[in-house]
Amino acid sequence: MNFVDLKRQRDKIEPKLRSRLDRVLAHGKFILGPEVSELEQALCATTGVKHCIGVANGTDALQIALRALGIGPGDAVFVPAFTFVATAEAASQIGATPVFVDVRHDTFNICSESLEAAVEQVRRTPLTPSAVIAVDLFGLTADYAAIEAVAKKESLRIIEDGAQSLGASANGKMACSFGDIATTSFFPAKPLGCYGDGGAVFTDDDELAELMRSLRVHGKGSSKYDNERVGLNSRLDTIQAAVLLAKLSVFEEEIDRRDEIANFYSGELAASVTTPTIPPGHRSAWAQYTVKVPAALRNRLADELRGADIPTAVYYPKPLNEQSVYADSEIAAHCPVSRALCREVLSIPVHPYLTTADTHHIVDALKSSLASLSD
């Protein structure tokens, strides 16, 4: 069994994929070709956001968003401690200071009370509290109502890191439509993945959109050889846009299937492990299906499952504030929930090409392994 099965997906979309790729080979517009704007428009339509701009990867997307908001040296950027390193790295890349905030034990997303406390802490330093990057971890959108309340009071800009949540929604509002700017990633293993690196930024703000279009092409002005600011070389390849357009044709049914599998798991596993919390009105994109088990059993459970041909993953083994790169950060982080989660979480396969036999095997093996380990 594979943790993510891109081969079964490819078999399903192969004719569409080949005709999309053939078209790119025929027109030869490999940089910002017509597929890039077609994809951008399609993603505007599915997310309900006015502007979508394809970029080279999800980390650049965050960097471009921060730079468009004017964030830089002297600014504190609040990020959850329990996420992939890129969320904090983007702030570091532009000379800003990432400040780590704890997450909620139920949704694993940034905790607004901890955010408020971290802002107070930064106010006692020379840094300016400037922005928060909320991550929609494992595909579930963060609590933007609570984050917006803190951001409004403390004058913070909001970036939604939707690298894992494209396709999710909260009370009918789609992921990548929250905050001043939202970002996503098309890394192959994300819910919508290409065949290499890719990403996008989203905003309803015309000026921010224009700035980000400039930043992705060397800070260009009205033409390529008119340079107004220091930018990046961070375009989404035409070939990757073509792959994504082929995959978009099955994306909705894939999200439905992930949701169906997740609901099956939650029904079957609720008595054995702590299953994911999905607040009312929310629909996850299920980038991961992550359970919590007692820390003492977690690694042994993963070994048992591997023995039953079930791959698992630990997202994430270490909170970012404890990573050596951030260990001597100028703002001391207090993230006990993140630390505990790193010892308790285990992600099991939830990709949309699992068969019914696969999902039954997974719940049976998980239940029997846990029962024998708990004896």
CB of 66 to ligand PLP, least distance (A): 13
- Using left for φ > 0, alpha for ψ between -120 and 50, and beta otherwise, residue 307 falls in alpha
Residues 248-287 that bind ligand PLP (CB under 6 A): none
Cβ closest to ligand PLP, residue 54 vs residue 58: 58
**Residue among 54, 58, 179, 276 that touches ligand PLP (CB under 6 A):** 58
Is residue 161 part of the contact set for ligand PLP (CB under 6 A)? yes
Give the residue at shortest CB distance from ligand PLP.
Answer: 58
Is residue 132 part of the contact set for ligand PLP (CB under 6 A)? no
Cβ closest to ligand PLP, residue 194 vs residue 261: 194
**Residue among 4, 49, 52, 163 that touches ligand PLP (CB under 6 A):** 163
Is residue 57 part of the contact set for ligand PLP (CB under 6 A)? yes
Is residue 139 part of the contact set for ligand PLP (CB under 6 A)? no
Piece of 56-64, 227-235, 305-313, 366-374 that binds ligand PLP (CB under 6 A): 56-64
Contact letters for ligand PLP, residues 164-183 (x by CB under 6 A): x-------------------
Cβ closest to ligand PLP, residue 23 vs residue 318: 318
Is residue 236 part of the contact set for ligand PLP (CB under 6 A)? no
Piece of 33-41, 157-165, 229-237, 259-267 that binds ligand PLP (CB under 6 A): 157-165
CA distance 291 to 57: 28
Cβ closest to ligand PLP, residue 108 vs residue 359: 108
Cβ closest to ligand PLP, residue 135 vs residue 370: 135
CA distance 35 to 20: 9
Cβ closest to ligand PLP, residue 56 vs residue 301: 56
Is residue 187 part of the contact set for ligand PLP (CB under 6 A)? yes
Is residue 197 part of the contact set for ligand PLP (CB under 6 A)? yes
SS (H, E, C) the chain: CCCCCHHHHHHHHHHHHHHHHHHHHHHCCCECCHHHHHHHHHHHHHHCCCEEEEECCHHHHHHHHHHHCCCCCCEEEEEECCCCCHHHHHHHHCCCEEEEECECCCCCCECHHHHHHHHHHHHCCCCEEEEEEEECHHHCCCCHHHHHHHHHHHCCEEEEECCCCCCCEECCEECCCCCCEEEEECCCCCCCCCCCCCEEEEECCHHHHHHHHHHHECCECCCCCCECCCCCECECEHHHHHHHHHHHHHHHHHHHHHHHHHHHHHHHHCCCCECCCCCCCEECCCCCEEEECCHHHHHHHHHHHHHCCCCCECCCCCCHHHCHHHCCCCCCCCCHHHHHHHHHEEEECCCCCCCHHHHHHHHHHHHHHHHHHHC
**Residue among 9, 47, 59, 321 that touches ligand PLP (CB under 6 A):** 59
Is residue 83 part of the contact set for ligand PLP (CB under 6 A)? yes
Is residue 316 part of the contact set for ligand PLP (CB under 6 A)? no
Is residue 49 part of the contact set for ligand PLP (CB under 6 A)? no
Cβ closest to ligand PLP, residue 54 vs residue 301: 54
Q: Nearest to residue 12, comparing CAs of 192, 251, 242?
A: 251
Where on the chain is the footprint of ligand PLP (CB under 6 A)?
57-59, 83-84, 86-87, 135, 161, 163-164, 185, 187, 197, 199
